[in-house]
Amino acid sequence: MLGLHYPSSAQGSLVRFHSPIDAKPIALAAALLPWLGGASEAQDFFQWADELFGMQPGRRYERPSRPTEPPRRKTEPNRKEASPAAAIEDGGPRPDIKPQAPPIVSFPYSFPPASVVIDTSGRKLYYVLEGGRAYAYSVSVGREGFTWTGVEPISRKQPWPDWYPPEEMRQRDPKLPEKMTGGVRNPLGALALYLGTTLYRIHGTNDTRSIGRAQSSGCFRMLNGAVLHLASLVEIGTRVAVVRSLSHGGQEVPKS
């Protein structure tokens, strides 16, 4: 290490100061001095030499900071998506419902007494009586594409039946359960009359607006009081004839 001597202004004598100066950059500067172009280049050289020989801390490498990601927004579940339906749904209470007899009308057709005739175009179900008369019930029939005609016997009478929506119906409406127990909320109503081995039924309903319209999937809906009255007349094996129209080519059925 070298020492530098500076004159003292107070006593005129030399005062020796020792500063920690490394001789390596000075020796190197002396060797390169003839090639340095001036004071500015010499100053730059000494700054470079200080960093090279450890006089000053070198520049630290800093890893570039990772850009901060914006906070994720909490997403709410899509309310429009239908939640999966329960396998079994309660059909509700089973109140006591009184049978209600419909009007008796003239029935000038050749169907046998104690049989049922359904006129799909007229939205009427008839229970044929003796003497050319019949009970006339208003019904809802199958909508377009779900109408049918034929003859089937009544194979079962079931109060407050359970309802098992068909698979194709559940595909159209995923909210439907696999089974709904009998009750006032059950679309089969207070009683169902099953027709042969088919899936079709004559059954009750609380939906009074559907009566007289073509809205079902092939079944025949009646008001609960009306289907209870019909069930008191028919037996297992009673013949049910489903026709397109009774008035076609003949006398219209009068209402009374």
Query: What stretch(es) of the chain map to CATH 2.40.440.10?
Result: 88-243
Spatial separation of the C-alpha atoms in residues 206 and 167, rounded to whole Å: 24
Question: CB burial class (10 A; 0-12, 13-18, 19+) of residue 124?
Answer: buried
Residue-wise DSSP of 147-164: ---EEEEEEEEEES--B-
Quote the pTM value.
0.64
> Is the domain defined by 88-243 classed in CATH 3.30.460.20?
no
**Where is 215: in which H helix or E strand?**
strand 214-216
Q: Which of 3-12, 22-31, 102-111, 117-126 has the lowest mean pLDDT?
A: 3-12
Catalytic residues: 203, 219
Q: If you average pLDDT over every residue of the chain, what do you get?
A: 79
Distance of CA 148 to the CA centre of its chain: 33
The tokens describing 81, both together, are: 């998506």
Residue range 63-98, pLDDT digits in tens: 556 666 666 665 555 544 555 667 999 999 999 999
Q: At what angle do helices 23-32 and 39-52 cross, to 10 degrees?
A: 140
